[in-house]
Structure 1
C-alpha cells in the first residue's frame, strides 16, 4: 500500500498537467503538494513536526529558482528595451540565414558553453529569448532549448554534478575518473539522438536530412573536446567543449559546410521578428560587441565567479555567520559576510535551508549585467523593465513554491517515497538493471530539479544495487550521471523557468508531453551505448 502511495503523487501531477484541458502549473503543483502532504501524514504516518519542517524548507528553497528566473527575465527585457536582440539577430543572419545553423549556434553550442559555466537552468533562460528574437516560434524554442541543454549537464557548473554529486560515495580517484570519462563517452553518443530529436520539434524531417552534415559536425565540435578533456578533468569538459564547439559551429555556418541552400521548413510558421522583411543589415564589430554585452558579459561574470582557481568563488560562498538570531522553534537565522543566508534547525528538526545571494546566478550576473547594459545604452527603461519582470513572475512564483514543497515531501526521510520507487524498480528489473539505471537518474532530476541533487540522492542507491547484483559500479554510476543530465529536459523547475522567460502562459503540460518523448529516446540510446562506453573508457584509462 505504501509503495502504491509513493507512486501516486507522480501520477496525479502528470495527470493534472498533461490531460486534455491541462491545469496550469501554478495550480497543478500546489495541489499535488497538498495531496503529497496529506499522504505523508495519513498514509506514511510521518511526524507532523518533520513534515511541516519539510514544507517550510521547500517554500524557502523555491526562492533559488525564482530569483534565477526573475534575473533572466530582467536581462531579456533589458535586451529588448535596448535593441540588443535586434542587433544580434542581424549578426546571426549575416553568418547564415539557414534556420538550422542559427538553432545549432544558439540552442546547441551556446547553451553548451553556458551550462559548463553555470547550470541552474541558466542556459535555456539566455538562449531561448535570442532564438525567439530571431523569429522562431516561442513554444517550439522552449522545447528545443530544454532538450538540447542536457549533454553538457554532467559537467555543468564547473563539474559539480560529478565531483560533488558523487562525493558521498567511497570512490577512489581512479573510479571517479572512470565514471566521468564513461559518462562523457555515453553523452557523446547520446548527443546525436538528443540534437536530432530536439531539432525535430522545430524543423521538418526533410530539412534535418538535407542539413545532417552540418548538424553532425556541430555536435562533434562540442563533444570531441568534451570527451578528451573528461579524460583529465571533471570541471572543464562542458565549459571548454562548449567554447571550442561554439567557435567551430560559427565557422562551419559561415563557410556553409554541410548546409543545404534550400529554405528550411518549420513545423510552425516562423514568427515575425522585429525588423523582419528589411534588407540585410551589416553589423559592425563595435556594434556587435556592444549589443552582445548582456550575453558575453554574463558568461564572463559567470566564469569569473565559478572557476575556483580565480579565487572569487570561495569568497562568495563564505558560510561562517557574521550575524545570527534565534527565532524560537522556527530555528536560527544567520547571514555570512558574503550574504549566505541560512536557517538551521527548522522546528527543532535537522532540516535546514541556505541561499547564497551573491553566488546563485541572479544578482550576479543577471541584475548586475542588466544595469550595466542600461547604463551603456543610456536607456531610461529601468522602471518599465522592472515592471515587466514583476508581472511575468506571478504564475511562476505559485508554481515553484508548490513544486519545491512537493519535491521535499517526496524525498523526505531515509525511507522516502523516491527511495521506495528506486528500490522497487531495482527489484523488478533484477540483473537487467543496467538498462534501467539511466531512467532512475532522470527521475531524480525530474523531482529535484538538479543533476547534482539527483546524483547525491540516487548515487548511493545505484551503487548498492550495482554491488548487490555484481554489476560494474562505475558503469552504473555513469548511467546515473547521464540519466540525471538527460532528466534536465523534463525537470519541472526548468520547464516553468523557460516558459516564464518566454511568457508562454499555460504551456508547461504541453512542453512536458513532448520533452518526455525525447527523454525516453535518449535514455534508450544511453542504455545501449553504456557497454561500449565502459569498454572504451577502461581501455583509455589503462
Structure 2
C-alpha cells in the first residue's frame, strides 16, 4: 500500500477526527464534509466506479432510516411523557430511590440501559437513558456522556446476542464456509456452541473491565461536570459502584455459561436491578450525604430541563408503563418466533441499487422505532392528553430532528462507501481490510492490545458492534492463526473492542446528543468518551496477556 493509498483509506477517520473532534464542528456540518472527502478518495485513489459510489450513497441513505426512526421515537416518547406530566412522577420516583445523582446514573444507564441493550440494541439505551437523567436534573451533556459509556459491556449480548451469534459468524464465513470450522467441530459442531465459548472469554474479561465501568461513570460525572470538578467525589461511592458492576456481570457470566449469549444482558440487568435498587433505597454502601452538585454552566439548554407543560399526577406504575410496554414489546419481538416472523414479514428491501449488486432494507415493524410510536399512541390515551399537548409533543420532536437527519444522512453513506470499496480498478482490498492487514503485519507482536482497537475502529465508523464483528472477525482469526494466538480469545478482544467503540461511534453520539437537545456538541461528547473506550480496550488486552492466551 502506497502512502497515498494509506491516506485515502484513512480519510473517513482523519476527516471525522479533524472536522468533528479537533475543529469542533457540529456533526451536521462535519459529516457531509467527511462523506464528500471519502467519496473523492474512493474515486480518484481507490478507483471505485462512480456508479458504485452513488449506489453506496443510496444504500447508506436507505440504511439510515432504521436509526432515524429509533431516534425520532425516543425523542417523541420523551416529549409525550414530559407534556403529559408523567415525567414529574418518574423524576420523583427516582428521587425516592436515591437523591444521589451518582446512584441514579448507575441504576438508569448501567442497569436499566443494559436491559434495553439486551432487548433491542441499535443504540436505544442511550436514547432512553440520557433524557431520563436530564429530567432528574443531570446536565444534558453529562447525561449523554455517561449514557454512552454505560452502553458498552452489555453490547456483547445486545439485541439478543446478535453481535456474537450473527456478527462474528458472518465475519468468519467466506464463500459459505466458516474458516473456524475446526474450532467449531471441537465445541459441539455448531456455531452457537462456539459463540458461547467466545462469549465466555468476553464476559470473563468483563468481570474486571465491565464491573469497574459504573465507578468510571460516576468519576466522569463528578470530575468533568461537578461544581468542584472532583474525581474524588465519584470515588466516594466506590463500594456501591463496584457492587452494582458485579450485580450485572456475575449473573451475565452465569447465564452465558448455562444458556448461551442470547440473554446475559437482559437477565443480568433484571437481576442487577432487583439487587441494587433495594440496597440504594436503604442507603447501604453509600455516603450519608447524597451528591447532586453540578456546575451551573452545564445547564445551558432550558428547553430540555423545563418542567412539563401540563403537570399531572400519576402512579409510578402508570408513569412507567410506556417504558414497561416498550421493554415487553422489544423482548417479545425478539423471543416469540411467530410474533417475530410476523413483524419481519413487513420488511422493505431494495435490491440492485443503480444497477449494482448492492441492496438495503428497512425493518418497518421489527425495528424498535415503530414500538416507540405505538407506545406514544398508548400514552396519549393512558395519560388523557389533550390535542394541544399531543401537538406540542409531536412538533417539538420533529423540529429537533433536522440536524440528526443531516448527520446520519451523511455518516451512514460515508461508511457504505468505505465498506464497499473492495470493488475497484486498482485491484486493492476494501479500505477497512487494507488497513486491518497493515495493522496485522506491523503490530502482530502487540496484537493483544491491537485487536480491541481494531474492534473500536469498526464500531466508530459503522455505528454497530455487530457490523464491526462482521468486518474484522475474519482478519482477527487469521492473525491468531498466523501468530499462534488463542483464536477464541482474539475474537473476544474483537468483540470487546467493538463494544468499547459503541461509546464513541458517530451514530450513537449523534443520537444521544439529539435526545438531550445537544445537537451540535457531538465533538465534546466524543472527546470525553474516546479516552474511556481506549483505556477499556487497553485493560482488556492486558488481562488477555495475563490470561496466557498469547
| Cα deviation code 1:89-108 (max 9, x no counterpart) | 11111121122211111121
Find the partner of 1:386 among 384, 394, 397: 394
Deviation at 1:234, TM superposition (A): 1.3
Task: State the Cα deviation string for residues 247-277 of structure 1 (Å, max 9, x = none).
Answer: 211111012111001242645248596679x
Q: Distance in 1 between matches of 2:214 and 2:544?
A: 19
Find the counterpart in structure 2 of residue 425 from structure 1: 439
Tell me how far apart the structure 1 counterparts of residues 488 and 438 of structure 2 sit (CA, whole Å).
Answer: 22
Match of 1:304 among 332, 340, 345: 332
Structure 1 residues not aligned, in runs of 5+: 277-282, 319-337, 536-542
Give the equivalent residue in structure 1 for 2:365.
358
Alpha-carbon distance, 1:18 to partner: 1.7
TM-score for the superposition, normalised by structure 2 = 0.88
1:144-293 matched pairs, under 5 angstroms: 144-168=146-170, 169=172, 170=178, 171=180, 172=184, 173=190, 174-203=193-222, 204-232=230-258, 233-264=260-291, 266=293, 268-269=295-296, 287-293=315-321
Aligned equivalent of 1:313, options 340, 354, 360: 340
Tell me which residue corresponds to 1:341. 348
How large is the Cα RMSD of the aligned pairs? 1.9
Q: Does 1:49 align with 2:75?
A: no
Q: Which SS does the other structure have where 2:348 is aligned?
A: strand
2:412 matched residue in structure 1: 404
Distance 1:263 1:299 in 2: 30
- Residue 426 of structure 2 corresponds to none
How far 1:383 moved relative to its partner?
1.6
Number of matched pairs = 505
Instruction: Find the residue that maps to 2:221 and give its secondary structure.
Output: coil
Task: Name 2:425's counterpart in structure 1.
Answer: none
Distance in structure 1 (CA, Å) of the matches to 2:136 and 2:68: 26
Offset, 1:462: 0.9
Corresponding residue of 1:89? 91
Q: CA deviation at 1:533?
A: 5.8
Structure-2 change in CA distance of 1:305 and 1:534 (3 Å):
farther
Aligned partner of 2:104 in structure 1 is 102
The whole-number CA distance in structure 2 between the counterparts of 1:405 and 1:520 is 26
| CA distance, structure 1, for counterparts of residue 220 and residue 88 of structure 2 | 24
CA contact (8 A) 2:82 2:307 kept: no
**Per-residue deviation, 1:111:** 0.4
Q: Is the 8 A contact 2:11 2:37 kept in 1?
A: no
Q: Secondary structure at the match of 1:342?
A: strand
| Match of residue 40, structure 1, among 35, 39, 42 | 42
Aligned-partner Cα distance in 1 for 2:448–2:133: 37
Q: CA deviation at 1:306?
A: 1.3
- Decide whether aligned partners of structure 1 residues 533 and 145 sit closer, same or farther in structure 2, where only a CA change above 3 A counts: farther
Equivalent positions of 1:456-467 (< 5 A) are: 456-467=470-481
The match for 1:454 among 464, 468, 472 is 468
Q: Does the residue aligned with 2:420 lie in a helix, a strand or coil?
A: coil
Matched-pair contact (CA < 8 Å) for 1:2–1:44? yes
Partner of 1:377: 383
1:139-167, Cα deviation, whole Å (9 max, x unpaired): 01100000111000000000000111122
Q: Take 1:345 and 1:199, find their aligned partners in 2: how far apart are those partners?
A: 49
Alignment partner of 2:208: what SS?
helix
In 2, distance between residues paired with 1:225 and 1:311? 29
* Alpha carbons of structure 1 residues 423 and 266: separation in structure 2 relative to 1, 3 Å: farther
Q: Kindly indicate whether the alpha-carbon contact (under 8 Å) linking 1:193 and 1:522 is maintained by their aligned counterparts in 2.
A: no
Q: Equivalent residues in 2 for 1:432-451 (5 A)?
A: 432-451=446-465
Q: Distance in 1 between matches of 2:104 and 2:480?
A: 42
Q: Match of 2:226?
A: none
Does 1:499 pair with 2:502?
A: no
In 2, Cα distance between equivalents of 1:223 and 1:534: 22
Separation in 2, partners of 1:311, 1:257: 44
5+ residue gaps, structure 2, are 173-177, 185-189, 223-229, 423-428
Normalization by structure 1: what TM-score? 0.90
